Chain A
Amino acid sequence: MSLAVPALRINLSRDDLIMRAGVVAFVGVLLLIVGLPLWALLAKGFEDRNGNYVGVANYISYFSTPALFNSALNSFHVAAVCTAIVVPLSFLYAYALTRAVLPGRWLFQGISLIPIFAPSLLPGLALVYLFGNQGFFKGLMGGSIYGFDGIVIAQVFYCFPHATMIMVTALATADARLYEAADALGASKIRVFFTVTLPGAKYGLISAALVVFTLVITDFGIAKVIGGNFNVLATDVYKQVIGQQNFSMGAVVGMVLLAPAALAFIVDRLVQRKQVALLTARAVPLIPKPKFGRDLFFTLFCTLVSAGILAILGMAIWGSLIKYWPYNLSLTLANYDFANFDANGWESYFNSLRMALGAAIAGTALMFVGAWLNEKTRGFGAVRSIVQLLAFLPMAVPGIVLGLGYIFFFNAPNNPLNFLYATMAILVINTVAHFYTVGHLTATTALKQIDPEFESVSASLKVPIWKTFFRVTVPICLPAVLDIAIYLFVNAMTTVSSVIFLYAPDTKLASVAAVNIEEAGTTAAAAALCVVIVITSAAVKALHLLADRFLFARLQAWRKR
């Protein structure tokens, strides 16, 4: 018989108290920037235009209005078709990058990333130049580029790098010994592909499919530019809110849009959890050997795909430099004189820079400190799992839905924070919240990779935990910190969806200005603004790579033996 011994209550050290207070404060911040805006959105869907509670009336009217409900079907249709195209395409491209010997491999890899640096508007604009009513190849198109076809082509361009990055990671982690074993057992190439390669990339394929599906269904810019009368969920939200000022119905459409994105996200998390168990630390990396036929095929394939990407980017650049498409093809910089097209002129670009810089600095600090608090706090499990949930939530929330939630939450007259509304600060906060999950994950991964006993050692030496944070943790995680900052900067430069509801005349961003200019019918100036954004974000990324290679290699010599 065992006597019931009272459980021991451990005294908390000053470190523990500081950390727990930090975690609680952090939960508060996440609630403010993610949880409550979404709650406001959810609540709004149950109100009529005057703010009276009406139950599910809005939802009933949504699903019984064919014009609205059709958009949902359209969104699913486009997303399914794009997924079916992008996943095999990116698989082949990633296969070429990882399993074939390509001349100029780094160039192919670099080109495949270009779309990341562009606002989603850009491929839409390029397609207008190529196949639009006055396009070069209008004759080649059976019907109009505006609508389903245009959206699909532009989405393929826009989603391709995201899927390719996932596939490269999935294929690069292959274990060479499995292939050696299959060879030794005399398996045919086809059999090896289906029994080793494909199962190894299975989770990557699923993950890529879900990411593409989510990106397409939540993207706003492409459907806006080239969707024509083909309505999708994301543009419906915009139309309901900006066009008809029907906020409640906007909220309902937002919730409908949230469902598939959230579902895809949950499936992806479940799949990725399995993948972790699949990888072994002792795998021997696979290094492809030259093989003429295969290498030739993949070089041609990659050249073709890269040419497509460059053609779309090139078309946008060329279009932005042309005087009067398609009648006067002489070159000019006049389209870059934005003051002629938008009241803000170049100011919107500088707003974008300010916003991106602010998001990069404030967001990185919040994400890294938050992830650190959550990783290193002893005990306090329940609160830490709330943090985990709140930090993962933004990934499942489409930008336009989050943006709408921000209107409802921050613009509410009884919210003491409504002084933030229509300021630069709210754009920064919204962008940080929108892209929170990836940064949090990057920071958490980096923190998990460092020795968990650093904090134990500090405690035994009576050194406060925050001192170790600044002296040891941050310097060690500096590469991850920079990755987060660059990721935030690039996304802040290119994002349209979530900030489109939140800007004021004097805080308009370049990507939003491009939407407005395009709406006013000046394709060339919109393209010019997109080109400026691409150049800026690509340059920042290039600077990061150079700095990583030369500057930090010297500053962080301790990493090398």
Chain B
Amino acid sequence: MTNFLEVRDLSKRFGDFTALGNVSLDVTEGEFVCFLGPSGCGKTTLLRAIAGLDPQTSGTIRQKGRDVSALPPAQRDFGIVFQSYALFPNLTVTENVGYGLVSRRQNRAEIKARVTELLALVGLPDSGAKHPAQLSGGQQQRVALARALATSPGLLLLDEPLSALDARVRVRLRHEIKALQRRLGVTTIMVTHDQEEALTMADRIVVMNHGAIEQVGSPQEIYRRPATAFVADFVGSMNFLGGTLLAADKVKVGDLTFTCPAQDGLAPGLKMQLCIRPEDVRVRDLPADVQNRVPVEVGDLDFVGAFCRATLKVRSAPGVLLTADFSSNLIRDLDVRLGSHLDVALPPDRLRVFAA
């Protein structure tokens, strides 16, 4: 497969501040890519550089083989949806959606047919005569999407398109946008700070921090095999246990020794972070010879609906805490309550280790 978009060594500096430092990235045709990261990580800067709205300081961008690095936005091929939607408030929905078509000198009937088609596509077939202020936030979002798609751009850019909406609408629109993108096959880049959004919608996630890319991968890869401590911490919940590397596959935390995936090329004695997700902590049916057994006392139980998040005190290492997700069944079956003593196990294949 050829690369639809090639970003090479892109940097953006504001005076002494580096908003983007030598970022390189490839996007294949038809892909849905999410830029994920905390605010100020450079994800929006990268998106706006790709659009040509805030050009990079150095580096190149090629789209479909064409070098667009120095082109103004109007000479690039993209549609964009902003967090604010930027719908023209004095124009009707029809006029908004048709805004880019009118200047292309298409005839009226063609424009009308295209607008009708687009409004049907985003599920607003009867709202053409309304003004944006008469629509709900979710409906405005769809109009903005229809307007961005009207000119059939090769690249769709979405800048935090869902963050101004309330939780329920957001979840519904996630699916709709993803379904629409699949149907049209338009290459899409979405910027978001919401990891759940990125995990559910993206084919590939680009995790960014401090103007650099931390990891690029499928949602499963990002979640299961975070490449850096930052990604491990930022995406999902994660336990971090400080320890020391004893051997390639052994880390000592307090007076407990854990078996973990082998770390090649690291010298014993290094300070390490041992990581495990709360849902990966095992409690039930531990075999007698289970690896990484930890005797704990239940310190806290936070009810979060479908399950409880337990804070476990490691009994042999005062001050070391472990969080684990316990289902309601498990709590009932094992009669878990505050102060209960339990044995848990940290499966070695679920452990991630990072140099501290």
Contacts and interface: CB of A to CB of B under 8 A. Distances in A.
A457 B147 contact: yes
A475 B69 CA distance: 35
B136 to A, nearest CB: 10
A461 interface: yes
B74 A472 contact: no
Contacts of B57: 7-8
A5 interface: yes
A390 B141 CA distance: 41
Given A457-B147, A461-B103, A12 B51 contact: no
A554 B334 CA distance: 69
B59 A453 contact: no
A559 interface: yes
A20 to B, nearest CB: 12
A458 B151 CA distance: 12
Tell me if B's interface is mostly helix, strand, loop or mixed: loop
Contacts of A445: none
Interface in B226-270: none
Interface string A441-466: 00000000001011011111111100
A457 B51 CA distance: 11
A456 B86 contact: yes
A511 B337 CA distance: 89
A506 B63 CA distance: 66
B74 A462 contact: yes
Contacts, number: 106
B356 interface: no
Among A8, A460, A558, find the residue whose CB has the most chain B CB atoms closer than 10 A: A460
Given A10-B55, A559-B133, A459 B90 contact: no
A458 B103 CA distance: 10
Contacts of A451: 82, 84, 86
Contacts of A464: 103
Interface residues of A, number: 35
A561 B100 contact: no
Contact of A558 (B11, B131, B153): B131
Contacts of B80: 456-457, 460
A462 B99 CA distance: 10
B148 interface: yes
B74 A13 contact: yes
Contacts of A328: none
B72 A560 contact: no
Nearest to A378: B72
B104 A460 contact: no
B99 A461 contact: yes
Contact of A15 (B74, B79, B131): B74
Contact of A476 (B55, B90, B103): B90
Interface in B73-92: 73-76, 78-80, 82, 84, 86, 88-91
Interface in B137-151: 147-148, 150-151
Nearest to A475: B90
Nearest to A462: B74
Interface in B27-59: 51-53, 55-59
A13 B147 CA distance: 22
B151 A461 contact: yes
A462 B151 contact: yes
A457 B82 CA distance: 9
Among B57, B75, B89, B147, find the residue whose CB has the most chain A CB atoms closer than 10 A: B89
A456 B52 CA distance: 9
Contacts of A244: none
A198 to B, nearest CB: 37
Interface in A452-496: 453-454, 456-464, 467, 471-472, 475-476
B89 A558 contact: yes
B59 A8 contact: yes
Contacts of A5: 9, 11, 58-59
B330 interface: no
B70 A457 contact: no
A7 B56 CA distance: 9
A476 B74 CA distance: 23
A557 B58 CA distance: 47
A229 interface: no
Contacts of B75: 11, 13
A150 B53 CA distance: 60
B104 A456 contact: no
Contact of A16 (B72, B82, B150): B72
A476 B86 CA distance: 13
Given A5-B58, A462-B104, A471-B91, A10 B86 contact: no
A379 B89 CA distance: 27
A13 B72 CA distance: 6
Contact of B73 (A459, A471, A558): A459
Nearest to A476: B90
B81 to A, nearest CB: 9
B134 interface: yes
B338 interface: no
Interface string A92-132: 00000000000000000000000000000000000000000
A467 B82 contact: no
A460 B72 contact: no
A291 interface: no
Contacts of A10: 52, 55, 70-72
Contacts of B78: 460
A6 interface: yes
Contacts of B132: 558
Contacts of A15: 72, 74
Contacts of A14: 74
Contacts of B9: 5
A460 to B, nearest CB: 5
A461 B84 contact: no
A9 interface: yes
A556 interface: yes
Nearest to A379: B55
Contacts of A457: 80, 82, 86, 99, 147
A556 B55 CA distance: 37
Given A7-B58, A10-B55, A11-B72, A460 B79 contact: yes
A6 B56 CA distance: 12
B86 A9 contact: no
A556 to B, nearest CB: 7
B73 A13 contact: yes
Interface string A322-355: 0000000000000000000000000000000000
Among B9, B72, B75, find the residue whose CB has the most chain A CB atoms closer than 10 A: B72
B70 A463 contact: no
A343 to B, nearest CB: 50
A472 B70 contact: no
Among B57, B75, B82, B90, find the residue whose CB has the most chain A CB atoms closer than 10 A: B90
Contacts of A557: 131
A60 to B, nearest CB: 47
Given A6-B58, A462-B104, A463-B100, A561 B70 contact: no
B10 to A, nearest CB: 10
B254 to A, nearest CB: 42
A461 B86 contact: no
Nearest to B135: A561
Nearest to A4: B58
15 contacts: A6-B58, A8-B56, A12-B72, A13-B74, A15-B72, A451-B82, A453-B86, A454-B88, A456-B73, A456-B86, A459-B72, A461-B99, A461-B150, A462-B74, A476-B90
Nearest 3 CB-CB pairings of A with B? A461-B100, A13-B72, A453-B86
Given A10-B55, A459-B72, 11 more contacts: A8-B69, A10-B72, A13-B73, A13-B75, A456-B53, A456-B82, A461-B103, A462-B103, A476-B89, A556-B90, A558-B131
